[in-house]
Amino acid sequence: MLIAAPVHDVLLSKLSALGYTYDIITDVNNERASATVANYEGIITSTRLNMDKAFIDQATQLKWVGRMGSGMEIIDLAYATEKNIVCFSSPEGNANAVAEQALGMLLSLQHKVNSAHAELQQNIWLREENRGVELEGMTAGIIGYGHNGSAFARKLKAIGVNVLALDKYKKGFAEEGIVECAAIQEIYEQADIISFHLPLNNETQFYFDEDFVQSMNKPFVLLNLSRGKIVRQSALYNGMKNGKIIAAALDVFEVEPIQKMKDDMRAQLDELLAMPNFIGTPHIGGYTVQALYKMSFVLAQKIENSIYKN
């Protein structure tokens, strides 16, 4: 089997116990994999491989794919199912990591931690200008209430934030004292904070656009730690410039890595990165020591259960 992503030894041990031998090639890409993919029964990947129809056709012995984390848009799931290829993901494994980073980014924006630190580096001492705004009593609109969204909701509720959540594919997930199910109009009307926790597909691409910004009743804070193309960067940029968006934090970007951006998009991003009310990180929300173990452990269990079931 092919391991095309960093994994913890707990997964390697389980694969060995199940009788698998493996090739670890964490810098693989589609072109490199095409020469050998026909040899593999299983593949562990993150974002390195685009497992489209052409790739799957080359993988003639493939029986299963394990995705470290979430984001199954890298796999043509319908075609994989047609080919009887079982696909696993492990969003349970890094949900807490993403939720912790989202909370940390939000707190830093509200209390001006990053911008004040940058000022101190320049020998600037400002207190009144760095007066923070507490989260307690605010309302957050969480769009997408899977593992990541629900983990973030619990952390927000613990510090006194009211949480409204929207998930088109889930019903009855309201938890008394933690989260209320909401329609998008309620979120437009009440939210001080918008946080996206969505998979990327045809319905969710550019969910956040100019119309979304204009629909919000109040100036708001934007967070996106899901998929970059959920948020149209130009809508974010314009909202930040006109003050409709008070602050924003992105762990994911419309084009990744950012070195691949065209000049006009990169110029926008450079302006955003220079703003004291913007924080960006290079898609590291789910990258913790613990998450690597937990994602690997979850995949190990799912692979084992699938093999024994079949």
- The superfamily in CATH containing domain 2-91+288-309 is NAD(P)-binding Rossmann-like Domain (3.40.50.720)
What confidence tens digit (pLDDT) does each residue in 256-308 have? 999 999 999 999 999 999 999 999 999 999 999 999 999 999 999 999 998 76
Structure tokens at 302: 């799912």
User: Residue 310's pLDDT is what?
Assistant: 54
What confidence tens digit (pLDDT) does each residue in 148-183 have? 999 999 999 999 999 999 998 887 888 777 799 999
CA proximity to 300, closest of 78, 88, 143: 88
What confidence tens digit (pLDDT) does each residue in 99-152 have? 999 999 999 999 999 999 999 999 999 999 999 999 999 999 999 999 999 999
Q: What is the dihedral of CA 195, 230, 270, 127, to 10 degrees?
A: -10
pTM over 0.75: yes
Domains 2-91+288-309 and 134-276 share a fold: yes
**Cis omega (within 30 of 0) on the bond before 282?**
no
CA proximity to 98, closest of 250, 297, 206: 250
> What is the full DSSP assignment across 154-204?
HHHHHTT-EEEEE-TT--S--BTTTBEE--HHHHHHH-SEEEE----STTT
What confidence tens digit (pLDDT) does each residue in 25-62 have? 988 888 888 889 999 999 999 888 999 999 999 999 99
User: Residue 309's pLDDT is what?
Assistant: 62
Q: Are 250 and 224 in contact (CB under 8 A)?
A: yes
Question: Going by C-beta distance under 8 Å and a sequence separation of 6 or more, which residues neighbour residue 305?
Answer: none
Question: Going by C-beta distance under 8 Å and a sequence separation of 6 or more, which residues neighbour residue 12?
Answer: 3, 22
Classify domain 134-276 at the CATH class level: alpha beta
Question: Going by C-beta distance under 8 Å and a sequence separation of 6 or more, which residues neighbour residue 49?
Answer: 4, 28, 29, 30, 33, 43, 55, 74
For the chain, the structural domain boundaries read 2-91+288-309, 134-276
* pLDDT above 60: residue 241: yes
> What is the DSSP pairing of strand 23-24 with strand 2-4?
parallel
Residue matched to tokens 């409204």: 164
